[in-house]
Amino acid sequence: MSNLKLSQGASSHSAYDLRDPNAQAEERHTLAVIVDNEAGVLARVIGLFSGRGYNIDSLTVAEIDHAGHRSRITIVTRGTPAVIEQIKAQVGRIVPVHSVNDLTVEGPSVERELGLFKVRGTGDKRVEALRIADIYRAKVVDSTLESFVFEITGAPEKLDAFADMMRPLGLCDLARTGVAALVRGN
Amino acid sequence: MSRTMTGARMVVEALRDQGVDTVFGYPGGAVLPIYDEIFQQNQIQHILVRHEQGAVHMAEGYARSTGKPGVVLVTSGPGATNAVTGLTDALLDSIPLVVLSGQVPTFMIGTDGFQEADTVGITRPCTKHNWLVKETDRLSETIHRAFHIATSGRPGPVLIDIPKDVQFAEGAYVGPEDVAPGRYQPERHGDSVAVEKLVELIERAERPVLYTGGGVINSGPEASRLLTELADATGFPVTSTLMGLGAYPASGKSWLGMLGMHGLYEANMAMHGCDLMINLGARFDDRITGRIADFSPGSIKAHVDIDPSSINKVIRCHLPIVGDVGDVLTAVLALWKSRGSRTNGAALADWWRQIDGWKARKCLSYRRSDTVIKPQHALERLEALTRDHDRYITTEVGQHQMWAAQFLHFEGPNRWMTSGGLGTMGYGLPASVGVQVAHPDALVINVAGDASWLMNMQEMGTAVQFRAPVKQFILNNERLGMVRQWQQLLHGERYSQSWSESLPDFVKLAEAFGCRGRQVSDPAELDDAIREMIEYDGPFILDVLVEKHENCLPMIPSGKPHNEMLLGDQEAAEDIGSAIQDDGAVLV
């Protein structure tokens, strides 16, 4: 290596300040992207991910400021630290993007997802489904004599676990919103 | 104060307010109202092209040779889709363009109407930004914003899709001064702590190199002047990418020549062996780096770029500075002077001795001939005979392009127009027309290959119609020369589909277009032919029959690092077909 020796933290964007830049292990990051709510803005963001070969684990979008026409896109993505840095830079330079915040780095943050689970069954299985739903604090939002629709809110892992529990009990359909996330504290 | 007018008139009004003097375009059903407005005014000149791809490349040539954005007007559907290659080309080479396209009326959008295409959808990934304007009241503001976005930060092409009913309807026009400054204001000034760090590195460097790119040109002529000042103040060697040629004068004493796959041996060896690499407005393209793992292994890398996404994209850099090259160089030079900085003179002298050793390899030497014109010789003669002219060069893509980059010398920015990132065959002829329109009295030469030139040869009609005296300097080897070279290197000399049969007679073709042509095959007649081309008062096609199987060298074979270049004198000695191994063969 060169004897020029650049000290750590030499600049605010130095590669030295990144977590191990050569790490090959993929990390999961939650990005909050504030955008102008204009036609095609979601297509721009999604097109960037598909065009450059990045992963999307989950994506949610809704307008958060009607007067200012701003939407918040929450993207859960996966990649090596170098890829995550590149994703943030690429998303950040899309013209209608106001800001890109990496909640995984800026955290701690809360992540919540809403899921609707339809479970079909009778007898013991039906009773068991209702009991487990109670443990998970799921709400019954629709019921027939042979089925329930449960509504559950929580971290994605909680919804995954709930799905695993319900599968042998007759889980036949589910819908999930994807992750919404905010940094904790002020 | 706003005035009421139709959308079509707004287009012309907004272009005029933006200082546009030339539009390259082609009419059609969905832009007829705008063409009607163009008919009724004289301030903006319209250049009627023969194909919309030609219009976009002309606008690129115009933009790159003037520093002003190029403007294109096309119709809906095929008009817009034909523009896509040019838009992608401009995106990859960061050329500011504003493309206006017609669209079917808003009430027909989505019905698969005649000449309807999802233009904003198709062009979303090949523009910096685009808009579909659905209300006439928003049109003028959108056009003004489009100019701002195309020209600020990292420049690039933008597109505005305008439905026909929006062109007919009336709305309120606002001038550029009445549009609120948008949120899009990229950072121009580099971080001052990082600038100071860079100056410290410059003071201590023992084996430095300035690696400059198209960003220096895009920053404006002042950035080129500052680069020269920095090179003079430090005595650091300067190399440049294909896109950056001319930013530092080729006659300057620090000039190493172009680097990269077909760059000069001394430039690539300096990149490989340096201890401080200062990247100014370049992006570590794969044509530059060769094998990433072995790219300049011992150096501290500083990277100045206005686009944060260029930083650490390909090569991890130690000292990133996000900002405009010109602004950052101003800050660096100011600090350099105020600190009374000095370089490590003794080490630098050693470094130059090493570089002079590499220069002594004379990597551009080639076997000369009295019987057949060598393409390198043709370019040497072109350089010698045009050097003193007010000269602009465009190129197509392939061997001739690399030879032109090696053998032609540029003393200033904006004189060299070539398709670098996308490598678009068919770029050079229309680009030369665009340059000539912007500089009517200059000598504009398109260095071309026979195959590339045919791709947009219809634009000779445009050149003749608008009396653009462009010179088409075709190095005719009856081959797709670079494809053939790679087939020789990689595919056992099986020359699959890489020769041009049934080539037209270029001299007769020139006559058919209403201009002049000449064919030359005897090296003894070459100078006379070049002189005739220069002196002819009008477009000219010079068909130079050159050596058919000449290879473009030196070359970093794909998958190899900078210090494993293939040089001209090795070609004869070894089996050139073994230069690339399997792991390199999958690369482009």
CA distance B28 to chain A (A): 26
Sheet of B300-305: strand order equals B255-258, B238-240, B208-212, B276-280, B300-305, B319-322
pLDDT at residue number B579: 66
Helix or strand holding residue B48 (H, E): strand B45-48
CA distance A24 to chain B (A): 14
Pairing of strands B471-476, B443-449: parallel
Phi, then psi, of A153 in degrees rounded to 5: -120, 140
Helix or strand holding residue A173 (H, E): strand A171-176
Of B201, B204, B311, which is closest to A13 when you measure between CB atoms?
Answer: B311
Helix or strand holding residue B391 (H, E): strand B391-395
Take residue B310 and report the two structure tokens written for it.
């260029």
Domains B3-178 and B192-359 share a fold: yes
pLDDT at residue number B572: 53
User: pLDDT for B243-284, tens place per residue?
Assistant: 999 999 999 999 999 999 999 999 999 999 999 999 999 999
Q: How far apart are CA B362 and CA B357, in angstroms?
A: 10
DSSP letters of A134-150?
A: HHTT-EEEEE-SSEEEE
A95 to B129: CB separation less than 8 angstroms, yes or no: yes
Of B299, B309, B320, which is closest to A14 when you measure between CB atoms?
Answer: B320
Burial class (CB in 10 A: 0-12, 13-18, 19+), A134: exposed
pTM: 0.94
pLDDT value at A16 more than 50:
no
Of B191, B205, B316, which is closest to A11 when you measure between CB atoms?
Answer: B191
Confidence of residue B5 (pLDDT cuts 50, 70, 90): very high
B154 contacts on A by Cβ (under 8 Å): 93
Q: How far is CA B587 from the centre of its chain?
A: 23
In chain A, CATH 3.30.70.260 covers: 22-106
User: For the structural domain made of A22-106, what CATH number should be given?
Assistant: 3.30.70.260
Q: How far apart are CA B566 and CA B464, in angstroms?
A: 42
User: pLDDT for B179-235, tens place per residue?
Assistant: 988 889 999 999 999 999 999 999 999 999 999 999 999 999 999 999 999 999 999
Confidence of residue B559 (pLDDT cuts 50, 70, 90): confident
Q: How far apart are CA B519 and CA B541, in angstroms?
A: 8
Beta-carbon pairs below 8 A across chains A and B: 88
Domain limits of chain B?
A: 3-178, 192-359, 375-545
Structural class in CATH, domain B375-545: alpha beta
Structural class in CATH, domain A109-183: alpha beta
Task: Give the mean model confidence (pLDDT) for residues B3-12.
Answer: 97
B317 contacts on A by Cβ (under 8 Å): 15
CATH H-level superfamily of B3-178: Thiamin diphosphate (ThDP)-binding fold, Pyr/PP domains (3.40.50.970)
Which position among B41, B114, B187, B493 bears the catalytic label?
B114
Task: Give the mean model confidence (pLDDT) for residues B558-569.
Answer: 86
Please report where in the chains the tokens 């990859």 appear, as a residue: B92
Whole-angstrom distance between the N-terminal and C-terminal Cα of chain B?
55
Q: Is B445:B392 a contact under the CB 8 Å cutoff?
A: yes
A40 contacts on B by Cβ (under 8 Å): 120-121, 124, 130, 132
Identify the CA nearest to B249 among candidates B34, B86, B410.
B410
Take residue A150 and report the two structure tokens written for it.
């449960």
Whole-angstrom distance between the N-terminal and C-terminal Cα of chain A?
43
In chain A, CATH 3.30.70.1150 covers: 109-183
Helix or strand holding residue B523 (H, E): none
Q: How far apart are CA A41 and CA B160, in angstroms?
A: 15
CA distance A95 to chain B (A): 7
Phi, then psi, of A149 in degrees rounded to 5: -115, 120
Task: Give the mean model confidence (pLDDT) for residues B284-297.
Answer: 93
CA-CA-CA-CA dihedral for B58, B64, B65, B66, to nearest 10? 100
Q: How far apart are CA B112 and CA B69, in angstroms?
A: 33
3-state SS class at B235: coil
B197 to A11: CB separation less than 8 angstroms, yes or no: yes
Task: Give the mean model confidence (pLDDT) for residues A117-139.
Answer: 97
pLDDT value at A22 more than 80:
no
pLDDT at residue number B227: 98
pLDDT at residue number B125: 97
pLDDT at residue number A10: 44
Q: How far apart are CA B409 and CA B390, in angstroms?
A: 13
User: pLDDT for B378-420, tens place per residue?
Assistant: 999 999 999 999 999 999 999 999 999 999 999 999 999 999 9
User: pLDDT for A165-184, tens place per residue?
Assistant: 999 999 999 999 999 999 99
Confidence of residue A1 (pLDDT cuts 50, 70, 90): very low
Burial class (CB in 10 A: 0-12, 13-18, 19+), B560: buried
Number of other residues whose CB lies within 10 A of the CB of residue B524: 10
User: For the structural domain made of B192-359, what CATH number should be given?
Assistant: 3.40.50.1220
